Structure 1
Amino acid sequence: MELAVAVVAPQALAEHKTPALAVAVQGKSLSASARALDEASAGALQAALARSGFEGKPGQTLALHSLPGIAAGLVLVVGAGDAAEVSLQAWHKLVVSAVKALPGKLGKATSTLAELPVAGRDLAQRISDHARFAIEAGYRFDEYKSKKPAATDLLGKLTLGIAERGDLKAAKDALTWGRCIGEGQSFARDLGNQPGNVAYPGYLAEMARALGEDGDIQVEVLGEDEMRKLGMHCLLSVSAGSQHDAQLAVMRYQGGKAKDAPVVLVGKGITFDTGGISLKPGAGMDEMKFDMCGAASVLGVMAAVKLAKLNLNVIGVIACAENMPSGTATKPGDIVRTMSGQTVEILNTDAEGRLVLCDALTYVERFKPAVVVDIATLTGACVVALGKVASGLFSPSDALAEELLAAGQRADDRAWRLPVWDDYQELLDSPFADIANIGGPTAGSITAACYLARFTKAYAWAHLDIAGTAWLSGSQKGATGRPVPLLLEFLRARAAD
């Protein structure tokens, strides 16, 4: 979808030539643009709302055709609730609903929704949001469909109308940032939605290499021989049963000063997780193709950072493996040595994400990072705790945790902090090795984070458990691209400091 910003003052809307025009209603109150259309149509808009029983609930839509005195063939009225200010969550919902309700066959449309008062958002932020939410609403993954939607089924161009010419430059810049987030998120969704027979570890490594083709990102990929020489036996234990080699891809973006310490993002990339010898139940196992969404989010962020030309040094690392059962697979009770020198008793081969991450987290010490954030679909326990609404956030650093929480609030990609206290470490004790890879039936997401904490003493670190937020199930099944928006807001704030 092509996105643009144009000056379309409310008083000129009636003559604005566009196939479709979106305006808002807050409860029973018309927005400035809706009032202008109502006056131009001699009250026809308001009368149509009354006849239909339109309540103005957030995301509710009503299509009105051929209103008298209005050049647009269709006016889409969008409910915004009855609060004086629209909440960020309601704003997200109503933009997505509006874009989905605009008929693709019309080809293009104009939206005035950015004029709505949204809590804590100025015009530029509302334009940025609108752009990102529109891309989200228009997302489709139909690569493997024999019959794809016709081009006429998809809205080709959406223009965001603003009232004042003096706001045009800031609005265009804001739209660019929103597009960067939206496209980075869509890239992550595309990767997550790929089937496991396509998106194996080598595929993700190739996606990383593709990001470096223009030279803006330097890419290095380590294969199993290189990892073995480095002592990354914990990571390699996960791929031991697979015919596909593990891969560690490193992407370096140098947008800041040469001596500036980088922000490092580490993504879990288990391209398919059977559970290994600790085999998962068959029901729902197809969704284990989404176990690489942490790596997908890092790739999406790196693509967006490059597009946005952020003034920051960012390194993305993805630790990729396929977890399969076979005669060569790691067994429960096996003991392996990590790159850090610590030994791990693998009590459950289905707790594999922490096994690839711990070696990757040791590897990134060489970059002398400002901070490290790992992103992983790590534990079912986090889904039980937080559902599909918030990602789990763990960090010993209050300052870093607050940065990430605030970024999530700004992006409507929220996280919730859980403890990573030393009190939980004893649950990971092993009689035979330095550490066990699981901590028993309680506090599963916390003990997983505590496991990772043992490998992150050299730098400031945070862990995002996205097992609940990285994808949706049921009729809406598919990758969400979260937490790309959170991470990009976090990086942009750091770049601005």
Structure 2
Amino acid sequence: MSKKRLYISADIEGVAGVVSSEHTTPAGFEDQQAREWYTAEVLAVCEAACEKGIEEIVVSDSHGNGQSLLIDKLPDNVQVVRSWPRPLCMMAGVELGDYVGAMLIGYHSGASDMRGVLAHTLHGGAISEVRLNGKVASETVISAATAAHFGVPLIMVSGCDAYKSKKAPVQPATKFTYVVGDKASVAAVKKGVAIGEAVGYGASFARDLGNTPPNICHPSYLSKQAKAMARGEPRLSVKVLGEKEMDALGMHSLLSVGRGSVQPSQLIVMEYKGGKKGDAPYAIVGKGITFDSGGISLKPGASMDEMKYDMCGAAAVFGALQSVLALKLPINLVCVVAAAENMSSADASRPGDIVTSMSGKTIEILNTDAEGRLVLCDALTYVQRFKPKTIIDLATLTGAVIGALGNEASGLMSNDDGLAKTLINAGQMSGDRVWQLPLWDDYAKQLKSPFADIANLGGPGAGTITAACFLSEFVKGQTWAHLDIAGTAWVKGADKGATGTPVGLLTEYLMGL
């Protein structure tokens, strides 16, 4: 009499707790933890099956290269199908026959499902969608159909919330057909696809960071992301300045923002050396306020959950750097992220406090909710030690930019019209539209303080411009531009989330250097 056998196809991407690529790639700093979660779910199913009389179990380790399960933790009666490629892909081994049933563990949604975690197709880099009988089919549907083909009944599916009874409408990916007449055109198309893939990956990385909940994404989390990016990348080096190092450098403006939080502030410095040795780098600086309560100047409770997006400037820096790495651009680039959490506590900064920035300028804090400029001014001062050719900072800096431009364009302010025009053109090419606002001295007058060199808040009008005027005081003699992305960094509504803006613009700009 044959033994009772069970077939399991398992994927790490739909396991509880797995929310980003850092959980699912060998280079990810949380990969080992995710592998333990993954193994624990498979083990629980195996143990329960054995209790019900199953004698042999075949498990297809179906993520990546098929080597994610910790096989030494599985029972002796479990056989694991490992390695890649396989003719039956995620269902390798189901053809070996005579199973009582098949279980799909840790599965996730298809690329067209907007609610799934880590949703994608079987091979997101090559396949936009798969259809069975004219309908879009996710990995779950494909695997179920494969099991049915071999006469194995599907008895259980587990995974992310893509399996809710109420799903978002299917939104199939757009199809592109290229018709070319010569080899030169084919090469150009391939180059364009490679650029699009690099920008898409960078923007997706920025979205993932922006969407990560603030109890996970804090300054130390961002520094770990930077270090993970540098692993195996000889052109990229990372330096993280803690609060003691920043204090020694006189960065008391940045440090004042994080005083109310238990999460330590950090300055994350990422150097990419893809150009000639000795060539001056270009610099990108991002605001990384991982959660902004407003501090003592507390924000209203409505929509405060969206203040996790106050680090989307930093997320875009990470995303642009990811694109640069993928494209291997022949430039030198310095990326600086000023990371802090703006919370209210007994030790938090107060309106009326005066702090001394790294530049030596004193700042009167009139409103603790105008904190982005306080972290950026020290980051802008710090990055000048690299003697960059240009500096671009980006931040979800002011709500006023939404009043001026809505959610259709980011605000651009610069002390160099040539740089501004280049960024406008890059925005038009990439779809990250920007609109230039003036930086006249008339606006800067609003920042005068009777007690300090400058105040961190202007008058009731032109808030986006006065914020940029504040930053301009810390980049004297530099070719500099500021992008206020507060209106474009995320979308609201049922499908709310980070947009990845302006990774495309930054990549387009850097490709043209």
How many residues of Structure 1 are paired with residues of Structure 2 in the alignment?
358
The yes-or-no answer on 1:275 pairing with 2:255 is: no
Aligned to 1:241: 260
Distance 1:314-1:334 versus aligned 2 partners, 3 A rule:
same
Partner Cα distance (1:148, 1:106) in 2? 11
Aligned to 1:452: 471
Partner Cα distance (1:100, 1:283) in 2? 38
Q: Contact between 1:373 and 1:464, CA under 8 Å: does it hold in 2?
A: yes
Secondary structure of 2:512's aligned partner: helix
Q: Contact between 1:292 and 1:377, CA under 8 Å: does it hold in 2?
A: yes
For structure 2, list consecutive stretches of 5 or more residues without a partner in the other structure.
1-127, 140-158
Q: Deviations over 1:43-70 (max 9, x none)?
A: xxxxxxxxxxxxxxxxxxxxxxxxxxxx
Q: Deviations over 1:417-449 (max 9, x none)?
A: 001111111100111111110002111000000
Distance 1:331-1:100 versus aligned 2 partners, 3 A rule:
farther
Question: 1:425 is matched with which residue: 444, 447, 450?
Answer: 444
What letter is aligned with 1:105?
A: A
Question: 2:220 is matched with which residue: 172, 182, 202?
Answer: 202
Partner Cα distance (1:148, 1:170) in 2? 41
Partner Cα distance (1:477, 1:100) in 2? 23
**Displacement after TM superposition at 1:146 (Å):** 4.2
Aligned to 1:310: 329
The yes-or-no answer on 1:175 pairing with 2:193 is: yes
Partner Cα distance (2:464, 2:222) in 1? 26
Partner Cα distance (1:162, 1:252) in 2? 40
Q: Deviations over 1:53-105 (max 9, x none)?
A: xxxxxxxxxxxxxxxxxxxxxxxxxxxxxxxxxxxxxxxxxxxxxx7998531
The yes-or-no answer on 1:191 pairing with 2:209 is: yes
Secondary structure of 2:187's aligned partner: helix
Aligned to 1:403: 422
Partner Cα distance (2:424, 2:508) in 1? 10
Partner Cα distance (2:417, 2:231) in 1? 38
Q: What does 1:324-339 correspond to in 2, within 5 Å?
A: 324-339=343-358
Q: Contact between 1:105 and 1:155, CA under 8 Å: does it hold in 2?
A: no
RMSD between aligned residues: 2.2
Q: Please state which structure has a larger fraction of its residues in helix.
A: 1
**Displacement after TM superposition at 1:147 (Å):** 4.6
Q: TM-score if structure 1 supplies the norm length?
A: 0.69
Q: What does 1:64-463 correspond to in 2, within 5 Å?
A: 103-105=135-137, 145-147=160-162, 160-166=177-183, 167-214=185-232, 215-463=234-482
Partner Cα distance (1:443, 1:168) in 2? 49
Percent of paired sites with the same residue: 56
Q: Contact between 1:469 and 1:480, CA under 8 Å: does it hold in 2?
A: yes
Secondary structure of 1:416's aligned partner: strand
Question: 2:509 is matched with which residue: 486, 490, 496?
Answer: 490
**Displacement after TM superposition at 1:154 (Å):** 9.5
Q: Contact between 1:470 and 1:479, CA under 8 Å: does it hold in 2?
A: yes
Distance 1:165-1:106 versus aligned 2 partners, 3 A rule:
farther
**Displacement after TM superposition at 1:199 (Å):** 0.4
Post-superposition, which runs of at least 4 consecutive aligned residues in structure 1 deviate over 3 A? 99-104, 144-150, 153-161
Higher gyration radius (CA): 2
Q: Contact between 1:106 and 1:155, CA under 8 Å: does it hold in 2?
A: no
**Displacement after TM superposition at 1:156 (Å):** 10
Q: Contact between 2:289 and 2:311, CA under 8 Å: does it hold in 1?
A: yes
Q: Deviations over 1:225-247 (max 9, x none)?
A: 10000000000000000000001
Partner Cα distance (2:179, 2:298) in 1? 55
Secondary structure of 2:300's aligned partner: coil
Partner Cα distance (2:199, 2:475) in 1? 28
What letter is aligned with 1:188?
A: A
